[in-house]
Amino acid sequence: MTKFFSKWNYPTTVLFGEGRIRELPDALAGAGIANPLFVTDPGLAQLPVVAMTLKLLDDAGVSYGVFSDVKPNPVESNLNAGVKVFRDGGHDGVIAFGGGSALDLGKLIAFMAGQSRPVWDFEDIGDWWTRADASAIAPIIAVPTTAGTGSEVGRAGVITNEATHTKKVIFHPRMLPVTVIADPELSVGMPPFITAGTGMDAFAHCLEAYCAPGYHPMADGIAVEGMRLVFENLPKAYEDGKDLTARANMMSAAAMGATAFQKGLGAIHSLSHPIGALYDTHHGMTNAVFMPYVLAFNREAIEERIVRLSRYLGIKGGFDGFAKAVLKLRKQLKVPHKLPGLIKGLEMDDKRKALIADMAVVDPTAGGNPVKLTKKNVLELLDASIEGK
C-alpha cells in the first residue's frame, strides 16, 4: 500500500447563503420527501426561526410533523420517541433543524426508523455500519442553526448511552444529508455562550484534524483555512451576534471542520466525550477548555506543522506564538481556563479520574492523537486541566 493513502467523502449539496431557508420546500421535493418530520430542540421550537420555517412549509402546502423532544447531548430515549413519531406519522424523510444535538438526532431518527436492530449495533467500529438495511434509511435535509459541529455535512450522529454514561458515535454513509441549507441568518439568535462554544468546536475540529498523523492534504488545506476563518470571525460573532459576515464565515468554518475531521481527531475530543457524557457539559465549550493542555502535551509531535500553520495565519513566534493566540482567543470568548470553571462544584476523586481516563483511551478519536494516549498521560492531562497548569 502506498503511504499516500486517504479517503475522501463529500457527496452532499450545500445551499449556502442568507435567505436560502426559503428554498426548503424545493429541497424537499428534490429529495423526494412528501411528508417530512421536522426535528428540532425545545429551546429552538420557541424561537421565531422555527415559526418562520414552519410557515414556509405551510405556505408551500407541505404536510409535516414536528418532534422537539431533543435534549442537548441527546440520549436513546429521545431517539426512540422520535422513531415512534416518525413511524406513527407515516413520514418519509427528516428535516433536521438546529445545533448538533437536533441535527444528530434528526439524522439518527431517519436512520433508525427502518432498522430492527438496536442503535448500539451501528457504532462507528470497523464495518458495523454494514449491518444496517441501507434501503430503509430515510432522506435527510439538514439545516444548522449553530456554527460548530458540522454535523450537517457528516455521516455520523452522536448519542449518549445513559446505561453506560458514554457518548457513542453512530455511523452510516447514508446518514449524510441529501441537502444542507446553511443560512447564516438562522444562527443570529445564538447567545454568546453557545456562539463561543460552538465556534471553538469548529476550531477544535480543524486543529485536531490538521494535527492528526497521516496523508491527507485536502483535509489539511481545509483545516488551515477553517482556522483562519475562526480566528478572524469568532470574536466578531461573539461581540455582535448580528454581524452576518462573521456568522456566515463561522458557518463555513463549521462545515469545513467536519469535512476536515474525516482525517481524524485527537485527545481534545477523547477527553471531551467522557466529560460531556458524565457531566452533561456543552461539547464545544468542553473542547475549548482542554485545548491548550492538549496542544502543550502534543508539542513535540506537532511543532513543525504548527509553525507552518502560524505562517499561514500571520501569527508570529512559532509554536509559542500559536499557543498564546489560542489562549487569547479563549479569553476573548470567556472560556473557563480550568475544568472547575466549566463544571461548578467539581470534585473528582481518583476513582472518577481513572474512569475518565479509561473512557478516553478507548474513545474512537484517541487513535488520531499525534502522541499515543495512555491511561497515565490522560490522567496527567486531566490533572493539568483541573489545576490550570
| Position 82 contacts ligand NAD (CB under 6 A) | no
Instruction: Please identify, among the stretches 6-14, 96-104, 223-231, 302-310, the one whose residues bind ligand NAD according to the rule CB under 6 A.
Output: 96-104
Of the pair 115, 151, the CB lying nearest ligand NAD is at 151
Which residue has cell 475522501? 8
**Rounded Cα distance, 9 and 173, in Å:** 9
Least CB distance to ligand NAD at residue 95 (A): 15
| Position 148 contacts ligand NAD (CB under 6 A) | yes
Binding mask 187-226 for ligand NAD (x = CB under 6 A): x-xx---x---x--x-------------------------
| Position 72 contacts ligand NAD (CB under 6 A) | yes
| Position 254 contacts ligand NAD (CB under 6 A) | no
Alpha helices by DSSP H, the chain: 24-30, 42-45, 48-59, 76-88, 100-112, 192-211, 217-239, 244-260, 267-279, 283-313, 318-332, 339-342, 350-362, 375-387
| Position 21 contacts ligand NAD (CB under 6 A) | no
Q: Check if the beta carbon of residue 385 is closer than 8 Å to that of residue 293.
A: yes
Instruction: Please identify, among the stretches 123-131, 181-189, 333-341, 378-386, the one whose residues bind ligand NAD according to the rule CB under 6 A.
Output: 181-189
Cα dihedral value 367, 275, 41, 223, nearest 10: -40
Beta-sheet pairing, 156-161 with 166-171: antiparallel
| Position 283 contacts ligand NAD (CB under 6 A) | yes
Least CB distance to ligand NAD at residue 181 (A): 13
| Position 265 contacts ligand NAD (CB under 6 A) | no
215 bridge partner residues: none
Query: Grid coordinates in use for 329?
Result: 482567543
| Position 99 contacts ligand NAD (CB under 6 A) | yes
Q: Check if the beta carbon of residue 15 is closer than 8 Å to that of residue 23.
A: yes
339: left (phi over 0), alpha (psi -120 to 50) or beta: alpha
Q: Is the dihedral of CA 229, 187, 15, 149 positive or negative?
A: positive
Of the pair 268, 315, the CB lying nearest ligand NAD is at 268
**Rounded Cα distance, 221 and 38, in Å:** 35
| Position 149 contacts ligand NAD (CB under 6 A) | yes
Residue of 68, 146, 286, 365 that binds ligand NAD (CB under 6 A): 146
Least CB distance to ligand NAD at residue 169 (A): 7
Least CB distance to ligand NAD at residue 97 (A): 9
Instruction: Please identify, among the stretches 41-49, 58-66, 172-180, 297-305, the one whose residues bind ligand NAD according to the rule CB under 6 A.
Output: 41-49
Residue of 258, 271, 295, 381 that binds ligand NAD (CB under 6 A): 258
**Rounded Cα distance, 112 and 116, in Å:** 8
Of the pair 205, 216, the CB lying nearest ligand NAD is at 205
| Position 266 contacts ligand NAD (CB under 6 A) | no
Largest CA distance in the chain: 60
- The torsion angles phi and psi of 384, rounded to 5 degrees, stand at -60, -40
Instruction: Please identify, among the stretches 16-24, 31-39, 113-121, 146-154, the one whose residues bind ligand NAD according to the rule CB under 6 A.
Output: 146-154
| Position 102 contacts ligand NAD (CB under 6 A) | yes
| Position 73 contacts ligand NAD (CB under 6 A) | yes
Q: What are the angstrom distances between the C-alpha of 188 and each of 48, 147, 308?
A: 11, 10, 33
**Rounded Cα distance, 210 and 162, in Å:** 32
Query: Grid coordinates in use for 2?
Result: 502506498
CB atoms within 10 A of CB 77: 11
Least CB distance to ligand NAD at residue 353 (A): 22
Binding site for ligand NAD (CB under 6 A): 41, 43-44, 47, 72-73, 98-102, 104, 145-146, 148-149, 151, 154, 156-158, 186-187, 189-190, 194, 198, 201, 258, 283-284
